[in-house]
């Protein structure tokens, strides 16, 4: 895990004092990039509601979206199409945006927290812990009394338990250190993954095992209006905290000693980030499964565009992640239609070559220089 690239601080010494106005030399102007992403997001949401195997025209899609947004009336013969657009596709596109934004922002935070270029939201073992809880519901019917909330509740509670376990093991008298967090999280990831695999093999074969595999690989197929509020609230709260902490993240990314010289308590900030990361990751994984690579790839790609200042990164990364995951979900539905692919498979298939090309660029370093 520890490589020369991974040990390099996430930004040059001037990063903590860099202003958020003009773009660094050679970068994309921040206002232009934000305008482009803000325009792309509603277009992507509309495409998420309109593209599929049902053969609806765009006029029908827009009419039903407008009816849903404004509370307009529809005729009885329009009910099936309205259900497809408003009850199935649109909440799924919104959930993809929420999950993509959350994973991307938390990826930025985790890479600064552990000062490791290879870190992503799943490096702390929280997602694999959530998988244990989710599979207990899918395979054995645990928490059946909660009905439709059983899966999300079990995954979130298991994520919190995994967080507590990782924290208890990684914490020392000196507090949380980056290396111990990475090593502990990695060990817990493999441990929880082993438990999940055992559960899949111990359960009866059939649709339950297939559902478990879809969830493990990441899927938004279970999206509905009920699954949106908690995930959206967790992501918005996490984004707000990270935005307020952007200057401290700049200092933390340069190392604990530099952070202390700049008046930042690295140990306290790391604890805050650990809690925020765990809460957001748990909430997101509970509704989408383990969608990998978004939290690793998007922060690196955004650094190439706007530099290493976390104020810029946290303004752009959530929007970029939201747009990316909406389109990944669209592709997951149409590539092998009517069969649906796990969206996590596509994020890896497309993300790996993009990430390799990014790493091969001689001008790119983790700090964004």
**The Cα angle at residue 121 between residues 340 and 294, in degrees rounded to 5:** 45
- Residue 167's contacts (CB-CB under 8 Å, 6 or more residues apart) are 176, 274
Give the pLDDT confidence score for residue 361 in this predicted structure. Answer: 67
Which sign does the torsion angle of CA 330, 336, 339, 340 carry? negative
Percentage of the chain exceeding pLDDT 90:
31
Q: Which two tokens stand for residue 270?
A: 């790391």
Distance, CA of 339 to CA of 229 (rounded, Å): 28
Q: Which two tokens stand for residue 126?
A: 């929280």
Kindly compute the dihedral angle of the four CA atoms of residues 357, 363, 366, 368, in this order, to the nearest 10 degrees: -120
Whether the predicted pLDDT of 6 surpasses 50: no
Over residues 289-313, mean pLDDT = 89
Q: Quick check: bond before 338 cis, omega within 30?
A: yes
Better pLDDT: 161 or 205: 161
Over residues 264-290, mean pLDDT = 87
Residue 242 near residue 109 (C-beta atoms within 8 A): yes
pLDDT digits (tens, 9 = 90+) for 171-186: 887 777 778 888 888 8
Kindly compute the dihedral angle of the four CA atoms of residues 65, 66, 72, 78, in this order, to the nearest 10 degrees: -40
Whether the predicted pLDDT of 42 surpasses 60: yes
Give the pLDDT confidence score for residue 200 in this predicted structure. Answer: 81
pLDDT digits (tens, 9 = 90+) for 122-156: 778 888 888 888 888 888 877 777 776 787 788 88
Confidence of residue 20 (pLDDT cuts 50, 70, 90): very low
- Give the Å distances, CA to CA, from 161 to 66, 83, 170, 212, 262: 42, 37, 14, 20, 34
Give the pLDDT confidence score for residue 207 in this predicted structure. Answer: 67
- The least confident of 40-44, 216-220, 259-263, 320-324 is 216-220
Q: Give the three-state DSSP class for 341.
A: coil
Give the pLDDT confidence score for residue 10 in this predicted structure. Answer: 43
Over residues 237-260, mean pLDDT = 91
Q: Which two tokens stand for residue 294?
A: 């978004």
Give the pLDDT confidence score for residue 50 in this predicted structure. Answer: 92
Give the pLDDT confidence score for residue 26 in this predicted structure. Answer: 52
- The least confident of 102-116, 219-233, 283-297, 351-365 is 351-365
Burial level of 19, CB count in 10 A (0-12/13-18/19+)? exposed
3.40.190.10, 2.120.10.30, 3.10.20.90, 1.10.3470.10: which CATH number matches 29-360?
Answer: 1.10.3470.10
Give the pLDDT confidence score for residue 96 in this predicted structure. Answer: 96
Q: Give the three-state DSSP class for 239.
A: helix
Give the pLDDT confidence score for residue 173 in this predicted structure. Answer: 77
Confidence of residue 307 (pLDDT cuts 50, 70, 90): confident
- Residue 91's contacts (CB-CB under 8 Å, 6 or more residues apart) are 223, 224, 225, 227, 228
Confidence of residue 37 (pLDDT cuts 50, 70, 90): very high
Confidence of residue 22 (pLDDT cuts 50, 70, 90): very low
DSSP letter, residue 219: -
Confidence of residue 366 (pLDDT cuts 50, 70, 90): low
The overall average pLDDT reported for the chain is: 83
- The least confident of 63-72, 217-226, 313-322 is 217-226
Confidence of residue 4 (pLDDT cuts 50, 70, 90): very low
Residue 187 near residue 125 (C-beta atoms within 8 A): yes
Give the pLDDT confidence score for residue 7 in this predicted structure. Answer: 42
* Core vs surface per residue 126-135: b (16+ CB within 10 A) or e: bbbbbbbbbb
Give the pLDDT confidence score for residue 83 in this predicted structure. Answer: 92
Query: How is the chain split into domains, by residue range?
Result: 29-360
In angstroms, what is the C-alpha Rg of the chain? 21
Q: Give the three-state DSSP class for 172.
A: strand
Write phi, then psi, for 366 (nearest 5 degrees).
Answer: -60, -35
């Amino acid at each position: 895990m520890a490589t020369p690239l991974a040990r390099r601080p996430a930004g040059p010494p001037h990063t903590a004092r860099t202003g958020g106005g003009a773009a660094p030399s050679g970068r994309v102007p921040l206002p232009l990039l934000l305008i482009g992403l803000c325009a792309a997001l509603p277009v992507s949401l509309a495409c998420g509601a309109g593209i599929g195997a049902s053969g609806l025209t765009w006029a029908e899609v827009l009419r039903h979206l407008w009816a849903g947004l404004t509370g307009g009336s529809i005729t009885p013969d329009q009910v099936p199409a309205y259900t497809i657009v408003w009850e199935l596709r649109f909440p799924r596109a919104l959930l993809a945006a929420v999950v993509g934004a959350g994973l991307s922002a938390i990826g930025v935070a985790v890479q600064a927290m552990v000062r490791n270029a290879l870190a992503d939201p799943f490096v702390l073992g929280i997602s694999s812990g959530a998988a244990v809880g989710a599979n207990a519901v899918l395979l054995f019917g645990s928490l059946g009394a909660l009905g439709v909330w059983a899966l999300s509740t079990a995954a979130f509670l298991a994520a919190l338990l995994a967080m507590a376990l990782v924290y208890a093991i990684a914490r020392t008298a000196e507090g949380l250190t980056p290396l111990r967090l990475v090593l502990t999280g990695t060990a817990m990831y493999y441990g929880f993954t082993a438990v999940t695999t055992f559960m899949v093999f111990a359960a009866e074969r059939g649709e339950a095992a297939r559902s478990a595999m879809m969830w493990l690989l990441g899927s938004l197929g279970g999206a509905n209006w009920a699954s949106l509020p908690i995930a959206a609230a967790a992501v918005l709260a996490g984004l707000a905290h990270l935005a307020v902490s952007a200057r401290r993240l700049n200092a933390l990314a340069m190392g604990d000693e530099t952070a202390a010289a700049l008046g930042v308590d690295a140990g306290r900030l790391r604890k805050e980030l650990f809690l925020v990361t765990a809460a957001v990751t748990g909430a997101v994984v509970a509704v989408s499964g383990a969608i990998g690579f978004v939290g690793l790839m998007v922060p690196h790609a955004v650094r190439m565009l706007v530099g290493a200042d976390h104020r810029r990164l946290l303004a752009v990364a959530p929007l970029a992640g939201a747009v990316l995951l909406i389109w990944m979900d669209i592709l997951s539905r149409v590539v092998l239609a009517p069969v649906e692919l796990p969206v996590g498979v596509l994020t890896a298939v497309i993300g790996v070559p993009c990430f390799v090309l990014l790493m091969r660029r001689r001008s790119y370093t983790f700090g964004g220089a």
